[in-house]
Amino acid sequence: MSYNIQAGISTSHFYQYLTHSWKHVLPDAGRFVNLDSIARLVSGFDIVGMQEVDPGSLRSGFVNQTEYLALKAGFPYWHYQTNRCIGKVARQSIGVLSRFRPTLLTEHKLPGR
């Protein structure tokens, strides 16, 4: 499964990208409710690739979301790669959760600015 978790920010309407934009910078307790829902959803899969995962910055309460989801969903193996860092305020990464032990992990830089 591939899942863009939007750093754990839940949106149900288009206008919330504007009205909830502060959640891209500041922590929000509701983020963990959404992460727990994501954990329940992905728990039925063997391998999950994730985009827009926060590896532990201010906006996530300094919680590595890949690790959090792995623990909540029961995945014994997980890895993340940070691909954007805006100091301690916000970080962005990609992550993978797996029920299978990886034989090799290789990180490649993603193209960007």
pLDDT in tens, 28-54: 888 899 999 999 999 999 999 999 999
Paired residues of 6 in beta bridges: none
pLDDT in tens, 78-102: 999 998 888 777 888 999 999 999 9
Q: Is residue 50 domain-resident?
A: yes
Q: Is residue 12 domain-resident?
A: yes
Query: Token digits for 54?
Result: 């926060």
pLDDT of residue 12: 64
pLDDT at 18 exceeding the cut of 70:
no
Q: Is residue 106 domain-resident?
A: no
Tell me, letter by letter, the H, E, C secondary structure of the chain: CEEECHHHCCCCCCCHHHHCHHHHCCCCCHHHHHHHHHHHHHCCCCEEEEEEECCCCHHHCCCCHHHHHHHHHCCCEEEEEEEEEECCCEEEEEEEEECCCCCCCCCCCCCCC
Q: How many domains does the chain have?
A: 1
pTM over 0.75: yes
